[in-house]
Amino acid sequence: MKISTILDHIDNGHMALPEFQRGYVWNRDQVRGLFDSLYRRHPVGGLLVWATASQTAAHRGDGQLAAGVVKLLLDGQQRMTSLYGVVRGRAPEFFDGNAQAFTGLRFHLETETFEFYQPVKMKGDPLWIDVTAVMKAGTAGIGGFVGMLTANPAYAERIGEYVGRLSQILGIIEIDLHIEEVTGEDKSLDVVVDIFNRVNSGGTKLSKGDLALAKICADWPQARDEMKAKLKSWESAGYEFSLDWLLRSVNTVLTGEAKFQYLHDRERQEIEAGLKQTSKHIDTLLNTIGGRLGLDHDRVFFSRFAVPVMVRYLELRRINGAGAMNEKERDKLLFWFAHSGMWGRFSGSTESYIDQDLAVLEGEDGGLDRLLEQLQLWHGSLRVVPAHFTGWSRGARFYPVLYMLTRMGEARDWGLGIPLRASLLGVMNRLEVHHIFPKAQLRKHKYRKMDINALGNFCFLTKDTNLNIRDRLPEEYFEEVERQHPGALASQWVPMDRGLWKIERFPEFLEARKHLLAEEVNARLAELLHGEDHWLTGAAVAQPVEAPAAIGGISSDEEEAELESINEWMEDQDLDRGELSFDLSDAEDGRQIAILDLAWPSGIQAELSEPVAVLLNEEPDTIKLANRAGFRCFTSKKDFQHYVLTEVLAEERAQ
């Protein structure tokens, strides 16, 4: 079928997007690549559609479907949305994304290249043609472009070539794309979603939550938008959660079950009411967890799948008329939350463990004590020992615990002497991770990367304090801190044996600080029990400390200096700095898999360009993992700067 016909089908409601499809995620590079391939008549792949009755078709957007059979796009959404956006000059009815990704595409008649509009580069050059304007003008409108060019003698001799290239652009919409149909009465939504996942096996598959949401949206078309609006409000407060996570919580509130299948037969009114009630419960929990434990952003919110259990607990209290939690109940719930995160309660079979915990809440004598009993049976003693702080990097499970201690207790900043409690400081962007023994100094003494980035070498300070300390050794700046703010070092669990402040005794410093951290976390969590200390009795069991699976990372002072110079250069261009030593995590289980030297995980142009990483002197495996995660990788400063100058900078300044 010709592209022009497909676009007409989208306009008249004969082709649409199924509700379970995700939004538009392409960036400008991908749009530009698509049009370059089509212009050169390279194959771009066919489409897969689901032919189904319009009256039962759950589709995205507010557009009206045509009567009879409609075709819902299973494979080809990104390509057709991009084509529609450029050819029509507007987004289709089912659009959900950033329209700037396909706005302003230009074509150079001499070099035959596609680029997005850059006023400094393109203004006053008639050879840069607006692709959308050409498409809208059609064959009859080519004369207007010809007249503009013939007015300049420099282009007169090549008018024939330019007209041919304009016709080549117009011919894009006459290209035939093969369409394969999925049809038949046996093709239920579940079957079609399975087909979709198989076809898209190289990308992100639809989850069971996507399927559940598709069925919900069939009765309540606004459901996805309502949920996304709520997620956006939490994101603005520092918590980034997924639709699956929110839907899981709605599911437990309404059904008391973890599996989404129990949500399928619920009426629209029930879902609406359930979302409203769930959102209230989550607001309560986020305020409580942020205020009492200090976990005030998603990077340290290490037990997010405990929330579906917690909202069910709050819902049962509401149903039973128990009212708001008192202080002891609140703290016991937080105690369970913290321990479920520390021991990775939901990092394995998430649904199974949520169901187990929901079951003990529903029982005749269900409640918080039963939850804690189950946690003890599953893990053993809930007491923390020094070995639990043996991890390294921000991907370590006990990294959020260190942050929690800083925000819960009496930890003070070493430059200002002020408390770092949640109620006094605010959100995480005013705190920075500080290496107590500076990385540069430890590298000179040939310490291992995992020791340099050990949890025992981390603390949290204000940005100015972190900058002022620079790369000085503890034996120097610790004395200054102790003079100016007595007790500030001990407040951050620094061993006060001055002999341990020397770099030669760094391993002993780490061991001593791990003991202090373990004592502190047990003391702080005991406060949440209000005297019920029996939950912390019994012999503590240290989990085996495995060798870290993550690869990559900054390996020398010279490398770090080069990366810092890149960040300084970016600031000179009025662009955002990248994140040094970015923890790349597995999308499924959150496990850290690599450390990227310097990264812009949302792209230098957020939502418009792909994620970018600078990887200096890295092994091929690190680059491979970054590429697989969608990062565009550069292995030299020169190549990265060329990319920024030629593909980003002019566009950024044009905004």
For 455-511, write each residue's pLDDT tens digit: 999 999 998 898 899 889 999 999 999 999 999 999 999 999 999 999 999 999 999
Query: Given a cut of 90, is residue 290 above it in pLDDT?
Result: yes
The alpha carbon of 102 is separated from its chain's Cα centroid by a whole number of angstroms, namely 23
Q: What is the 3-state secondary structure (H, E, C) of 76-114?
A: CHHHHHHHHHHHHCCCCCCCCCCHHHHCCEEEECCCCEE
Buried b (16+ CB within 10 A) or exposed e, 556-575: eeebbebbeebbeebeeeeb
Cβ atoms of 252 and 274 closer than 8 Å: no
Cβ atoms of 261 and 213 closer than 8 Å: no
* Backbone φ, ψ for residue 502 (5° rounding): -85, 140
Cβ atoms of 454 and 392 closer than 8 Å: yes
The residues that bridge with 460 in the sheet, in sequence order, are: 433
The residues that bridge with 613 in the sheet, in sequence order, are: 599, 633
| Dihedral over Cα of 294, 296, 299, 304: its sign | positive
Q: How many CB atoms lie within 10 A of CB 345?
A: 24
Look at residue 529 in the predicted model and tell me its pLDDT. Answer: 96
Lowest average pLDDT, out of 66-75, 297-306, 578-587, goes to 578-587
Q: pLDDT category, 547, cuts 50, 70, 90?
A: very low
Cα atoms found within 13 Å of the Cα of residue 180, Cβ hemisphere only: 10
Q: Closest Cα partner for 594 from 483, 485, 449, 466?
A: 449
Q: Closest Cα partner for 425 from 518, 297, 565?
A: 297
Give CA–CA dist 563/613, Å, rounded. Answer: 11
Give CA–CA dist 429/306, Å, rounded. Answer: 25
Tokens at 617, concatenated: 């002197």
Angle at 580 between CA 577 and CA 585, to 5 degrees: 115
Look at residue 243 in the predicted model and tell me its pLDDT. Answer: 86
Number of H helices, E strands in the chain: 29, 14
Report the first-to-last Cα separation within the chain, whole angstroms. Answer: 37
Query: Given a cut of 60, is residue 544 above it in pLDDT?
Result: no
Look at residue 84 in the predicted model and tell me its pLDDT. Answer: 94
* Backbone φ, ψ for residue 240 (5° rounding): -105, 110
Domain ranges of the chain: 3-174, 207-364, 387-536, 551-654
* Backbone φ, ψ for residue 218 (5° rounding): -60, -35
| Dihedral over Cα of 290, 293, 297, 298: its sign | negative
Tokens at 475, concatenated: 């034996």
pLDDT greater at residue 151 or residue 458: 458
Cβ atoms of 125 and 111 closer than 8 Å: no
Tokens at 189, concatenated: 């939504």
pLDDT greater at residue 192 or residue 344: 344
Kindly give, in sequence order, each residue whose CB lies less than 8 Å from that of residue 446, ignoring residues fewer than 6 positions away: none
* Backbone φ, ψ for residue 610 (5° rounding): -70, 160
Return the amino acid letter for 315. E
Look at residue 339 in the predicted model and tell me its pLDDT. Answer: 95
Kindly give, in sequence order, each residue whose CB lies less than 8 Å from that of residue 375, ignoring residues fewer than 6 positions away: 336, 339, 340, 343, 345, 382
* Backbone φ, ψ for residue 596 (5° rounding): -95, 135
**For the chain, what is the largest distance between any 2 Cα atoms, rounded to a whole number of angstroms?**
92
Q: Closest Cα partner for 416 from 458, 473, 459, 463?
A: 463
* Backbone φ, ψ for residue 185 (5° rounding): -65, -25
Top-confidence range, 48-62, 423-437, 459-473: 459-473
Query: Given a cut of 60, is residue 542 above it in pLDDT?
Result: no
3-state helix vs strand vs coil in the chain, percent to 5: 55, 10, 35
Give CA–CA dist 651/121, Å, rounded. Answer: 10
Cβ atoms of 651 and 104 closer than 8 Å: no
pLDDT greater at residue 119 or residue 387: 387
Query: Given a cut of 70, is residue 264 above it in pLDDT?
Result: yes
Mean pLDDT (whole number) for 245-261: 92
Give CA–CA dist 290/98, Å, rounded. Answer: 31
Q: Is 175 exposed, middle or buried (0-12, 13-18, 19+ CB in 10 A)?
A: middle
Lowest average pLDDT, out of 53-57, 168-172, 173-177, goes to 53-57
Mean pLDDT (whole number) for 47-67: 77
Tokens at 272, concatenated: 């609406």
pTM beyond cutoff 0.85: no
Give CA–CA dist 627/297, Å, rounded. Answer: 27
Cα atoms found within 13 Å of the Cα of residue 550, Cβ hemisphere only: 26
Query: Given a cut of 80, is residue 358 above it in pLDDT?
Result: yes
Percent of the chain's residues with pLDDT above 90: 47
What average pLDDT is seen over the chain? 86
Give CA–CA dist 605/116, Å, rounded. Answer: 13
